[in-house]
């Protein structure tokens, strides 16, 4: 029988940890078919209900794909397009000759979920800063900004007044960014997002998932949500000869 991670978490979380560890270490590569629910029940010594919940939650989070009558597979990376640069939204608004202001909804220290800790590439779970800010252009909400910040690189983030200083500006001042990952998805607005952006539930939004590194260390993970009817992303560049 396989030993599950030795933590105080519920059993279904331990099953999730087991699967995520195998994915994160590369032991289970992309597109790999997972053992069946029955095989996991036997090998892990847990109930079918526990395995089912773990697989369901990892599927909802985008780590797995479940095909009826076929099995469960590790999800491949989503197709994505390259963006050359994403500017600070506060600077963009000012450059357009408009007025920017921000409203801080959340500024706290949290223990990250297993999935978030994996994205930070932590060897063990450690607390991170968490902020949620709404950015306005001439009093119209245009961006819902959620950030998770590595306190080992950016201390005292939770003590700042982000109604006076943009989170982007503070982060850029505190640590150099050596690598950036951008992933853009189209999503429907849930109730909370719709409320903060002043749009209808189900309205199309652009979600920019941004991860930054300082050297080999993940510095920040951000989820920037824009009302699709009020925002567009684009770039202009010269292709290299190699491409």
- Output the six-digit token pair for 117: 């800790």
Q: Is the pLDDT of residue 243 over 50?
A: no
Q: Which of 225, 7, 230 is nearest to 132 (CA)?
A: 225
Domains of the chain: total: 2
Weakest mean pLDDT among 30-34, 51-55, 92-96, 224-228: 30-34
Weakest mean pLDDT among 20-24, 70-74, 113-117, 169-173: 20-24
Q: 27 — phi, psi (to 5°)? A: -65, -40
Q: Is the pLDDT of residue 166 over 80?
A: yes
Could you tell me if 68 and 117 lie in one domain? no
Could you tell me if 99 and 203 lie in one domain? yes
Is there a domain that residue 2 lies in? no
**Could you tell me if 148 and 128 are in contact, meaning their C-beta atoms sit under 8 angstroms apart?**
yes
Q: Compute the distance between CA of residue 181 and CA of residue 80 in angstroms, rounded to an integer.
A: 11
pLDDT for 85: 57
Q: Is 119 helix (H, G, I), strand (E, B) or coil?
A: helix
Average pLDDT over residues 231-242: 56
pLDDT for 82: 44
Could you tell me if 86 and 70 lie in one domain? no
Range of the structural domain that residue 27 is part of:
11-74
Helices first, then strands: H and E counts in the chain:
7, 8
**Could you tell me if 56 and 12 are in contact, meaning their C-beta atoms sit under 8 angstroms apart?**
no
Question: Which CATH number covers residue 145?
Answer: 3.40.1410.10
Domain termination residue (choose one: 54, 74, 94): 74
Question: What digits encode the pLDDT tens for the residues 6-61?
Answer: 655 788 888 888 888 887 777 887 678 899 999 999 999 999 999 999 999 888 87
Could you tell me if 114 and 169 lie in one domain? yes
Could you tell me if 149 and 213 lie in one domain? yes
As beta bridge partners, residue 60 has none
Could you tell me if 129 and 112 lie in one domain? yes
Q: Is the pLDDT of residue 208 over 60?
A: yes
pLDDT mean across residues, the chain = 85
Could you tell me if 140 and 215 lie in one domain? yes
Question: What digits encode the pLDDT tens for the residues 107-161?
Answer: 999 999 988 998 998 888 899 999 999 999 998 999 999 999 999 999 999 999 9
pLDDT for 87: 67
| Percent of the chain clearing pLDDT 70 (strictly above) | 85
Write the DSSP assignment of 134-200 as a string of letters. Answer: EEEETTEEEEEEEEEE-TTTSTTGGGS-TTTS-HHHHHHHHS---EEEEEEEEEE--HHHHHHHT--
As beta bridge partners, residue 137 has 100, 140
Q: Which of 11, 180, 172, 23 is nearest to 90 (CA)?
A: 172
State the Cα angle at 158 between 153 and 162, rounded to 5°: 105
């Amino acid at each position: 029988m396989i030993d599950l991670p030795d933590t105080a978490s519920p059993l279904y979380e331990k099953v999730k940890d087991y699967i995520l560890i195998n994915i994160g270490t590369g032991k289970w590569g992309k597109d790999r078919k997972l053992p069946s629910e029955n095989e996991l029940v036997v090998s892990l010594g847990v109930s079918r209900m526990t395995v089912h919940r773990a697989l369901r939650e990892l599927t909802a989070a985008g780590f797995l794909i479940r095909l009826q009558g076929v099995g469960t597979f590790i999800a491949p990376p989503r197709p994505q397009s390259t963006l050359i640069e994403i500017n600070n939204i506060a600077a963009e608004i000012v450059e357009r000759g408009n007025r920017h202001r921000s409203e801080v909804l959340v500024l706290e220290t949290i223990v990250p979920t297993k999935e978030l800790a994996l994205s930070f590439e932590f060897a063990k779970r450690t607390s991170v800063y968490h902020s949620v800010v709404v950015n306005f252009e001439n009093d119209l909400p245009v961006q819902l900004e959620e950030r998770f910040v590595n306190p080992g690189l950016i201390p005292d983030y939770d003590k700042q007044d982000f109604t006076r200083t943009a989170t982007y500006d503070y982060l850029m001042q505190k640590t150099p960014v050596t690598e950036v990952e951008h992933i853009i998805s189209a999503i429907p607005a849930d109730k909370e997002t719709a409320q903060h952006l002043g749009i209808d539930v189900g309205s199309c939004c652009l979600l920019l998932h941004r991860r930054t590194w300082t050297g080999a260390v993940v510095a920040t993970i951000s989820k920037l949500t824009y009302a699709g009817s009020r925002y567009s992303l684009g770039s202009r560049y010269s292709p290299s000869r190699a491409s």
